[in-house]
């Protein structure tokens, strides 16, 4: 199911027709059993890698799911919004909810997309049509211009849902690109009114407000209001990591600490931030920071970024300008980028580029594209750190300079493509002209309905002598018989 627009391209939302049901999927290196009978529109079938990455190591958060279930049970329709700071697990919670409830879903991703309203409308519309077998072979041309068509689909889907709750999960409203939206419109053109039994579960950052005027029930759950529950889940996450990693347990023993002491100190340093734990536990497991006591570890996610920035020598004298430039290229580029591409953007040697990739690998997600390893920033909070005013003022590398490097290289690539196309066009015209010339020399010419003989080829000397003597003899006979 796709829109009538750009039908020759793959849907920007990653939606395509899925035949049959997937009962198991390799996710995050493990097999996760999937209940049979899921519809083809199920996000579990469509986004297995994304959801699998999000829920890897998931623990707890029952208090969030209980609140969502209570909201749906007590309200006839409405918007339930989960808010929190970067790294607190908003997207993870939503991914787990989608996996457990198999609801319709859309994940906004600022780094590589999708993160625009038309992509959301196309994705959700296609899922509604497929799941509820609505009578549309394709989306109307205006389906992605505003929320009117989505509203119509919700009305039609409710009629087929036989009184059951229709739940749509939408992640990361704070990452939506609104540059092309109509002024004053709701974010993603979300409906101001909802049919009975329609519920949206949303997530966004705590400090980011979004435009969402509506006349239905609303509830906001702030993760910061559940400190005790968050601490319990943090401790469970640490304990699970220790239980599943012999290497991590050995590192802790070398520090001369018990599991309980380690859990207490790291949990306190994390400030209930799961992204912090992901980075720090991986560092310890890999043998980093053995020279530091846990009391010396940074407290909180942003402090951890500062800490790593200094440990990697990014404030040394003289400043490692090449390395800073490379880290910012990784931060600015919004698509997975290969090592060779980074070299091309930066004009740095492969050795220097690989050194930076190794030093910052815990902040990068690796993706294989066309057999080539590519890299993209793992979490938007790291980009926030790079864009922080005090960090930008601490070095001579400026964002406009980085953007110019990338733009100039891409323009060169485009110009090269244009020149190659131009050469191919000239060669094609030349070949066509040569072909026409050959045809003129070897094929009969046609003028109207009269076929003209082809041009005569040059005769050999023997042929010329033969014709001369033949005509001479014919002349002589005519003269005698005259």
In this structure, the strands spanning 364-369 and 372-377 are antiparallel
Predicted confidence at residue 443, as pLDDT, reads: 56
Cβ-contact 57, 67 below 8 angstroms: no
Q: Are 150 and 186 in contact (CB under 8 A)?
A: no
Long-range contacts of 453-459 (CB under 8 A, 24+ apart): none
Task: Give the class (CATH, top level) of 312-411.
Answer: mainly alpha
pLDDT of residue 479: 52
Question: Mind listing the pLDDT tens digit of every residue in the chain (482 residues)?
Answer: 544 443 333 333 333 322 222 222 222 222 233 334 455 555 544 555 666 677 777 888 999 999 999 999 999 999 999 999 888 889 899 989 998 888 999 988 876 667 888 989 999 999 999 999 999 888 888 888 888 899 999 999 999 888 899 999 999 898 888 888 888 899 999 999 999 999 999 999 888 888 898 999 999 999 999 999 999 999 999 999 999 999 999 999 998 889 999 999 999 999 999 989 988 998 899 888 888 888 889 999 999 999 989 988 889 989 999 999 999 998 888 788 889 989 988 889 999 999 999 888 888 888 887 788 888 887 888 888 888 888 998 898 888 888 888 888 878 777 778 788 778 877 777 777 777 666 655 555 544 444 555 555 555 666 666 666 566 566 555 554 45
Predicted local distance difference test score (pLDDT) of residue 121 = 92
Residue 342 CA to residue 356 CA, distance in Å, equals 11
Question: pLDDT value at position 97?
Answer: 93
Give the per-residue pLDDT at 175. Answer: 87
**What pLDDT is stored for residue 33 in this prediction?**
35
Q: Which pLDDT score is estimated for 69?
A: 95
Query: CA 209, CA 31: separation in Å to the nearest integer?
Result: 38
pLDDT value for 333: 85
Question: Where in the sequence of the chain do the CATH 3.40.50 domains occur?
Answer: 24-225
Q: How far is it, in rounded angstroms, from Cα 5 to Cα 472?
A: 80
pLDDT of residue 455: 53
Nearest to 210 by CA among 324, 313, 300, 83: 83
The domain made up of 24-225 has a fold known as Rossmann fold (3.40.50)
Confidence at residue 410, expressed as pLDDT on a 0 to 100 scale: 77
CATH 1.10.10.10 residue spans of the chain: 312-411
């Amino acid at each position: 199911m796709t829109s009538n627009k750009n039908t020759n391209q793959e849907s920007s939302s990653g939606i395509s027709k899925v035949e049959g049901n997937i009962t198991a999927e390799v996710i995050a290196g493990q097999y996760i059993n999937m209940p049979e009978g899921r519809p083809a529109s199920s996000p579990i079938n469509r986004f297995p890698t994304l959801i699998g990455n999000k829920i890897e190591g998931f623990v707890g958060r029952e208090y969030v799911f209980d609140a969502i279930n209570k909201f749906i049970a007590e309200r006839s329709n409405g918007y339930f919004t989960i808010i929190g700071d970067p790294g607190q697990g908003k997207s993870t919670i939503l991914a787990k909810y989608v996996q457990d409830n198999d609801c319709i879903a859309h994940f906004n991703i600022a780094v590589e997309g999708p993160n625009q309203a038309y992509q959301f409308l196309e994705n959700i519309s296609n899922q509604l049509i497929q799941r509820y077998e609505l009578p549309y072979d394709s989306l109307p041309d205006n389906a992605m211009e505003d929320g009117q068509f989505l509203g119509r689909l919700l009305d039609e889907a409710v009629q087929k849902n036989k009184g059951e709750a229709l739940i749509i999960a939408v992640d990361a409203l704070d990452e939506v690109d609104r540059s092309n939206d109509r002024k004053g419109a709701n974010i993603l053109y979300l409906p101001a009114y909802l049919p009975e039994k329609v519920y949206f579960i949303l997530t966004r950052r705590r400090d980011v407000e979004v435009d969402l005027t509506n006349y239905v029930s609303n509830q906001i759950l702030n993760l910061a209001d559940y400190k005790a529950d968050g601490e319990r889940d943090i401790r469970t996450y640490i304990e699970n990591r220790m239980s599943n990693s012999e290497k991590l347990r050995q590192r802790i023993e070398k520090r001369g600490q018990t599991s309980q002491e380690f859990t207490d100190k790291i949990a306190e340093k994390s400030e209930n931030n799961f992204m912090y734990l992901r980075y720090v536990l991986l560092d310890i497991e890999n043998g980093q920071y053995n020279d530091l006591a846990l009391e010396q570890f940074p407290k909180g996610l942003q402090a951890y970024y500062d800490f790593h920035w200094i440990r990697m020598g990014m404030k040394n004298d003289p400043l490692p300008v090449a390395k800073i430039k490379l880290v910012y290229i990784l931060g600015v580029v919004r698509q997975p980028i290969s090592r060779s591409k980074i070299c091309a953007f930066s004009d740095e040697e492969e050795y220097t580029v690989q050194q930076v990739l190794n030093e910052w690998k815990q902040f990068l997600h690796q993706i294989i594209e066309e057999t080539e390893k590519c890299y993209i920033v793992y979490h938007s909070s790291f980009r926030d750190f790079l864009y922080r005013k005090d960090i930008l003022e601490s070095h001579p590398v400026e964002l406009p300079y980085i953007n110019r490097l990338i733009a100039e290289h891409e323009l060169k690539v485009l110009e090269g493509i244009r020149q190659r196309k131009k050469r191919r066009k000239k060669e094609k015209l030349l070949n066509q002209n040569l072909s026409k010339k050959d045809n003129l020399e070897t094929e009969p010419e046609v003028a109207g309905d009269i076929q003209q003989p082809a041009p005569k080829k040059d005769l050999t000397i023997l042929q010329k002598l033969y014709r001369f003597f033949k005509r001479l003899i014919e002349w002589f006979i005519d003269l005698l018989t005259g």
